[in-house]
Amino acid sequence: MTDAAFLGLVQNAALLLAMAFVYDIMTSRYRLGPRPFIQVVIGITLGIFGCILMLSPWTYVPGIVFDTRSVLLSVSGIFFGVIPTVIAMAITAVFRLSLGGTAALAGVAVILVTGSLGIFWGQYRRRNLQHIPWYEFYLFGLLVHLVMLALMFILPWEKALQVLAQISLPVLLIYPLATALLSMLMVNRLRREGNATRLLASEERMRLFFERQIVGMAITSPEKGWLQVNDKLCQILGYSRAELLELNWEQLTHPDDLEASLVHFNRLLSGAIDEFSLRKRFLHKDGSIVWMEVSIGCVRRADGTVDYVLALLVDITKRKQTEDQLRESETRFRIFFENAPAPYQSMNAEGCLLEVNKAWLEMTGYHHEEVIGRSIAEFFTPASLPRLKECFPVFLQNGFVHNAEFDFVGKKGEIITVVVEGRISCHSDGTFKQAHCVLHNISERKQAEQALQESEERYRTLVNNLPGVAYRCLNDEHWTMVFFSAGIERMTGYPATDFIDNAVRSYTSIIYPEDCGLVDRAVQEGVNVHKPFEMEYRLLRADNTMLWVYERGQGIFDAAGKLLWLDGVIIDISEQRRAQEEKERLQVQLLQAQKMELVGILAGGVAHDFNNMLQAILGYSDLSLAQIEETSPVHEGLLEIRKAAMRSADLTRQLLAFARKQTINPKILDLNDTVVGMLKMLQRLIGENIDLAWLPGHDLWPVKMDPSQLDQILVNLMVNARDAIADTGKITIETKKISLDMAYCADHPGFRPGEYVLLTVSDNGCGMNKEMLPKIFEPFFTTKEKGKGTGLGLSTVYGIVKQNNGFVYVYSEPGQGTTFSIYLPSFSTAMVKIETPLTEATVGGTETILLVEDEAVLLNLAETILQRLGYTVLTVNSPMAALQLVQEHPGKIDLLITDLVMPGMNGRELAQRLSSLRPAMHCLYMSGYTADVIAHHGVLDTGVHFIQKPFSIDNLARAIREALCDITKNP
């Protein structure tokens, strides 16, 4: 390194100064407004600076010079961008070529490469120039000048080595440092410009905020003078900006508000507060008053004193006027509200009273503090509460209520009837605010209306309760009615309004056609002689049925003898007309009932004696069968005798069932098994011309009822179905299980939900019409000819089903047949098993049995059977003999078997007397007919053991064991 190298330092210093100058003069404008023209000017300026630098280089040898254009162009590329740098590169390259010399091409290459590196680096870091640290610029300068030194190899090899040996150290020491210093100067300038730009933008925003406010804004001094005001404040007060700045706010404040303003302002100056707000009046330029809502704050110096005061002023003049008007309106409303003659109340959404007026309090007798906050429901009568609960939600939903009538309860307990008119008020967002109601006290009017209504009701009741119909009509062709009492609707089915002024029909239109002439003649004859008229004739009801009426009337004439109208009464005499027919019908029914009673008495007597005879036949048949072999020729004959006896016993039971004298003993039944056992008998009952179909259901639930009752149901329904079929037809019996729910029962009144077994009997006979269906279960009702049927069959079915807690449903249409549906309650199999005949061998015993039977044949038979069963038997033929035997017999008697119907004393009375003598003795009754001795309405008393005659040996053996094993006794 020689002294000449330091000359580059001087040039570098000059370059830095020149660049700083250029930056201050030119770049600020460029950054604030990057326009193409300015970029060209900057590029030319930079090119001229490069030329100047090349005019004062450090000359290594003639033709090889070094200057700081590489620093200039690389920094230009970073901070000035592409266009200015390219222009500068072009100018300096041309100028370098014009200088000539050995290193001209190398110099141009340095220009192009260093400028390009600057452009590249500037584009790469263009968004973060202000934040690039100094060492990055130093490293960039080092890179640029290492590239510059490398470009020296464009020179001849030996020359390049010599140049590098001499120039490398000063270049790498000074040029990178110069690059870093110049770049940092540019960065600092950019930062200052950025801050200045942001400050200007902030000031502009504040200016716009201040000037474009929709409210007044001002900055004042501690001495109350205006320092700055916006246009809105000038507009509010009516002054120009210049006029307002010459005044202070103390001069513009209303005198009445000045003192309060100064108190707050002085507290602000003293440091007691930093801000305050108040409403005050200002004086407009035209002398009017401007109400403002003022918010004051301050900015203090470091010593705490106020530097200036900020004020935000909102014009509330219109709002103030509105508030004053509202206050005046509220005052007027309050006066009106308190002095209004009609009671008024306001409520919240829960129905609690918010306000009431004086009239409301006078009406109810309460004081104001006694009602506010209480629910309106507390003042209603109990009868009005349901209507309140119904109307109030509708009131809230619709927003109004009209003519709603309620009964209030006053403080003293008096009833006050009011009519309510109400409206809902809402907030601005549409939500509920209050309910307002005006009440009209109509108690006196209601009392007057009630008195009038009672008077009218008495008159109406008097007229309507007349034994017929009162009328007034004109004597014209159609007997135009001007009044008809309500009885006409009961009588004919037509409302009275139909006949008034012939609105719907004339009265003559419902007179039986054949009687019209009779009626007209009777009326005219009476009118002609001014005497009352009377006649009997027929009318046609609305349902097309006929009734007989008796009419008595009289013409009403004026003083001149002119007929005005006809007044009269019409009385229904249909019952009287039917009285004789009804009497005859009842006579027939009485005879039928007497016949039934006689049949019942006869059936009971026959059953007793006949069953006794059958008992002898059946008993001795069983004894004989037990003594002979099955291969004996006599065995088959004895079996036929026994079968005949059993069939005769069945006939007897059917006779008792027909007369409803049978003893009922409910059993657990499988409906399918029971029906199957009756199919042959039912087929014989309906005849061969009618097909009998049997559709059994699967897995039926059991039912509990007397098997004989089920027989009665099926027999009566089959007979009814048979009689409905003219020639050939079909009857279907069907069973199934069914569960009835609430919905089904709602459609079938009288039904109850639960599990049932359904028995259906259907036929394809003639069917029944709708008028006949409601009557079919009535006693003695029948559609058959006289002498055919008693009308008790279906009523018996209905009674049996009801007795067993079931239901009957009938569906029928004329020509389509009839279906009877019998719903019988299911019986839980978990509780009781279905009773089936025992199949095990007959079981006897060794106990002692007292046998009482007045029939000698049956006494001997029973004794024989009991002895064969192993029992010790004591026999007597009368109740008195039994009493004597029991008193004299020293041993134990385990069981009493007694006939029920005996002369002198029945079996029940005998058992009760013997029970006092032998409390441990059990009892078994036997009879062909109980005659309610041990049963009530046919149902056996609880705990009573009974065997129906005739019985088999097996049945008797089982009955004895059941009676002996029963731990309860009921004589």
Verify that 172 and 48 share a domain, yes or no.
yes
What's the whole-number average pLDDT of the chain? 81
Alpha-carbon distance 72 to 115, whole Å?
A: 8
Task: Give the mean model confidence (pLDDT) for residues 883-896.
Answer: 92
Alpha-carbon distance 75 to 69, whole Å?
A: 10
Verify that 855 and 941 share a domain, yes or no.
yes
pLDDT tens, residue by residue, 614-649: 777 887 888 888 788 888 888 888 888 887 777 676
Pairing status of strand 848-852 against strand 872-876 = parallel
Is residue 583's pLDDT more than 80?
no
Is residue 875's pLDDT more than 50?
yes
Q: Name the helix (H) or strand (E) containing 123.
A: helix 104-124
139 close to 128: Cβ distance less than 8 angstroms: no
Verify that 230 and 187 share a domain, yes or no.
no
CATH number of the domain enclosing 691: 3.30.565.10
pLDDT tens, residue by residue, 398-437: 888 888 889 999 988 899 999 999 999 888 888 888 999 9
Q: Name the helix (H) or strand (E) containing 471.
A: strand 469-473
634 close to 600: Cβ distance less than 8 angstroms: no
264 found inside a domain:
yes
Output 585 or 349, whichever has higher pLDDT: 349
H runs (alpha helix) in 340-384: 358-364, 368-371
73 close to 113: Cβ distance less than 8 angstroms: no
Task: Give the mean model confidence (pLDDT) for residues 902-920.
Answer: 90
pLDDT tens, residue by residue, 645-693: 776 765 565 555 545 555 666 788 999 999 998 899 899 888 889 999 9
**Cα dist from 553 to 76, 276, 571, 577, whole Å:** 135, 100, 11, 21
Last residue of a domain, one of 556, 572, 588: 572
Alpha-carbon distance 312 to 217, whole Å?
A: 5
738 found inside a domain:
yes
Provide the pLDDT confidence category of residue 840 given band limits of 50, 70 and 90: very low
> Where is average pLDDT lowest: 22-31, 59-68, 421-430?
22-31
Task: Give the mean model confidence (pLDDT) for residues 32-50.
Answer: 74
Verify that 194 and 217 share a domain, yes or no.
no
Output 179 or 761, whichever has higher pLDDT: 761
Q: What is the pLDDT of residue 836?
A: 42
Give the predicted TM-score (pTM) of the model. 0.35
Checking phi first, is residue 348 left (phi over 0); if not, alpha (psi -120 to 50) or beta? beta
Alpha-carbon distance 142 to 135, whole Å?
A: 10
> Where is average pLDDT lowest: 56-65, 548-557, 651-660, 825-834?
651-660
Q: What is the pLDDT of residue 23?
A: 54
pLDDT tens, residue by residue, 294-310: 999 888 888 888 888 88
Is residue 537's pLDDT more than 90?
yes
456 found inside a domain:
no
Last residue of a domain, one of 448, 475, 506: 448
Verify that 518 and 439 share a domain, yes or no.
no
Verify that 261 and 152 share a domain, yes or no.
no
Q: Which residues touch 365 (CB under 8 Å, ≥6 apart)?
A: 410, 411, 412
H runs (alpha helix) in 365-442: 368-371, 385-398
CATH number of the domain enclosing 133: 1.10.1760
691 found inside a domain:
yes
What is the distance of C-alpha 896 from the center of its chain?
68
CATH number of the domain enclosing 442: 3.30.450.20
> What are φ and ψ of residue 566, in 5° steps?
-115, 130
Q: What is the pLDDT of residue 314?
A: 86
> Where is average pLDDT lowest: 129-138, 596-605, 672-681, 905-914?
596-605
Q: What is the pLDDT of residue 538?
A: 93
Verify that 472 and 422 share a domain, yes or no.
no
> Where is average pLDDT lowest: 292-296, 383-387, 390-394, 936-940?
936-940
DSSP 151: G
Alpha-carbon distance 11 to 174, whole Å?
A: 11
Output 36 or 385, whichever has higher pLDDT: 385
Task: Give the mean model confidence (pLDDT) for residues 454-466.
Answer: 71
CATH number of the domain enclosing 948: 3.40.50.2300
Verify that 178 and 34 share a domain, yes or no.
yes
Max mean pLDDT range (28-32, 184-188, 605-609): 184-188
Alpha-carbon distance 582 to 515, whole Å?
A: 24
161 found inside a domain:
yes
pLDDT tens, residue by residue, 329-383: 777 777 777 777 889 889 998 989 988 988 899 899 999 888 999 999 999 999 8
751 close to 799: Cβ distance less than 8 angstroms: no
Single-letter amino acid, residue 98? S
Q: What is the pLDDT of residue 708?
A: 78
Verify that 866 and 937 share a domain, yes or no.
yes
Verify that 189 and 220 share a domain, yes or no.
no
744 found inside a domain:
yes
Verify that 529 and 399 share a domain, yes or no.
no
Range of the domain at 310: 213-321
Is residue 12's pLDDT more than 80?
no
Provide the pLDDT confidence category of residue 137 given band limits of 50, 70 and 90: confident
**Cα dist from 549 to 500, 534, 554, whole Å:** 20, 11, 17
772 found inside a domain:
yes
> Could you tell me the strand order of the sheet in which 415-426 lies?
353-356, 344-347, 432-441, 415-426, 400-409
Single-letter amino acid, residue 417? T
Domain count, the chain: 6
